[in-house]
Amino acid sequence: MATTTPGVAPTGEYHLHRKVGLRPLTMISLGSIIGSGWLLGALHAATHAGPGSLLSWIIAGVILGILALIHAELGSTYPVSGGTARFPFMIFGAIGGFAGGWMAFLQAVTIAPIEVEASLSYLQSKYPHSFNTYNAAGTALNGKGILWGAIFMLVFTAINIMGVRWLAETNAISVYWKVAIPLITIGALIFSAFHSGNFTKFGGFMPYGFHGVFAAMALGVIFAAEGFEQAIQVGGETINPQRNIPRAVIISMVIGIVIYLLLEIAFIGVIDPKNLAHGWANPIPGVGAFGPYASLATTLGLGWLSTLLIIDAVVSPAGTGLIYLGTSSRLSYGLGRNGYFPKVISRIDRRGVPIVSIGICFVVGMLTFLPFPSWSGLVGLVTSATVIMYAFAPVSLAGLRKQDPDRQRAYRLPWAAVLCPIAFIAANLFVYFSGFSTVFWLYVFILAGVIIFGLYQVSLPAERRTIIEWRSAYWILPWLAMLFVVSWLGTYDGSPPTVFGITLLATNHLKQWWDVLVLSAASLAIYYWAANSGMATAKVQAAVEDVEGEASIELESHLVD
């Protein structure tokens, strides 16, 4: 090994390097969890659920915690980069792997531009004359805004190109700030003014009932709290992944949920009761979708805190955007390794980074600035794509435990027979709560991905096409159809889409609780169908061995380096 070029396989190709330890790995997940969501999530949740938004955070925290534990077993047992795009491939073959991988890539690649828009919108709300990045109607970025967006994205790209260690260490510096500022904000607001009556008056604890509690989860809560899986995405670049991946996922998830719950308590308690006399629709008059904490700090005479928050409005979203540009490139790398797209997107340069994938993610991110102009305009879509991705994890774990039972597992999820179906049902409910319009557009993007995949496969010679395991993937179409039909029959609209002049609305035939019951029962049936639809044991083990071969090359690259 001493005579081998560092990071180069015997074939002469470069490979990923294992250079990320527990601390930077934890920071990658925690830095993804704390982004623009902390600046905006509490306001969006409170306007839809009032004090009941605390239940939104608790329910989301419990369910995401279960999903995090599921990912901890998968990521530590099969430690490869772009893991969430590849676990379904190992058990369900090409179609299952593509569906899960495409959703993972879609949500990850759009988050960096979302975070950039959060920074730009926040800055414009504070400096409307000197930092004018939106058009007069406030509906889209103007030329200056797109230029600033490009600058942010270029910085993210440059840091990622420099290598995973640069990515991890740069992110770690920003995470210390991103954790400190929310904690300072919580303490400053609570000790400056706290109105306990806000939690029980003005319509009570749940002024909009459970409908509001559930809606709030899809309108900012899940988006804010997601991100634990980013430690999984760099699994192929992690030192001692069997030990470090579970720890990083669990530690980051616990810290993130505790901070978000405390932020919501502080936010609700500090609102002036006079502003709630007519309900929770406008708890801070004069503030738009951006700047709630800075507005509260200014009202309370905490100018120093307002200044810190304005700075953080750039640092927190930018830090998260940096991570997601890197992890989305690992997902597209995984899609290429699985054979869904040209192998060139999986090319690794001498620094050990997927250079082509990073460039693709920059281009897609820039395109995202054009059709989706606002932070809130993308949150529902990204949340739905994320939980579709999450939904593949419990069925993948159940299938892999069945078809690959002798695999050594450094971390083993307790009560998996109970927790996995619960997690699958909850993920489907999260998609449903996002509203029929969001589900509709999500399916448009799924169809686009299928078309791209199909065109690429048709362009290949027959002997090079991806082998599709139809039997293992039959459950996916009924699953997606079920989600669409229940969303259409249910009570959650989102922002109703208009297609060919027809406005698509949920029909409201399934009333509150009946919709949850129907969706849960159907999801449970599909879960057991999926869990028992994995490929034959020999094929699963062959797919896993391929992954193990890749992982051993990556480990060798680290040892040589």
- Helix/strand/coil (H, E, C) string of 46-109? HHHHHHHHHHHHHHHHHHHHHHHHHHHHHHHHCCCECHHHCHHHHHHHHHHHHHHHHHHHHHHH
Give exposure, 460-471, as e/b (b: 16+ Cβ within 10 Å): eeeeeebeebee
Domains in the chain (CATH in brackets) are 22-541 (1.20.1740.10)
Whether residue 2 is predicted with pLDDT greater than 50 in this model: the reply is no
Interhelix angle for 416-433 vs 436-459, to 10°?
110
pLDDT at 476: 92
pLDDT range class, residue 53, cuts 50, 70, 90: very high
- Average the pLDDT over each of 104-118, 177-191, 282-296 and give the range with the smallest value: 282-296
Coil/strand/helix, residue 508? coil
Cβ atoms of 530 and 396 within 8 Å: the answer is no
pLDDT in tens, 63-90: 988 998 898 899 888 887 667 777 888 8
pLDDT band (50, 70, 90) for residue 396 = very high
Q: Which amino acid type is present at position 295?
A: S
Residue with tokens 């391929």: 546
In terms of Cβ atoms closer than 10 Å to its own Cβ (0-12, 13-18, 19+), residue 414 is: exposed
Neighbours of 477 (CB within 10 A): 11
The secondary structure of 106-148 as a DSSP string is HHHHHHHHHHHHHHHHHHHHH-TTTS--B-TTSSSB-HHHHHH
What tens digit of pLDDT does each residue of 262-282 get?
A: 999 999 999 989 988 888 888
The HSE-up count of residue 214 (CA atoms within 13 Å, CB side) is 22
At residue 268, what is the residue type? I
pLDDT tens digits for range 219-265: 678 878 888 877 777 666 677 777 788 888 889 889 999 999 999 99
User: Is 90 exceeded by the pLDDT of residue 19?
Assistant: no
Contact criterion met (CB below 8 Å) for 495 and 435: yes
Region 375-393: mean pLDDT is: 74
Residue 8 DSSP symbol: B
Note the pLDDT of residue 373.
Answer: 45
pLDDT tens digits along 89-137: 889 988 888 888 888 888 888 888 888 887 787 777 777 777 777 776 6
d(CA 457, CA 461): 8
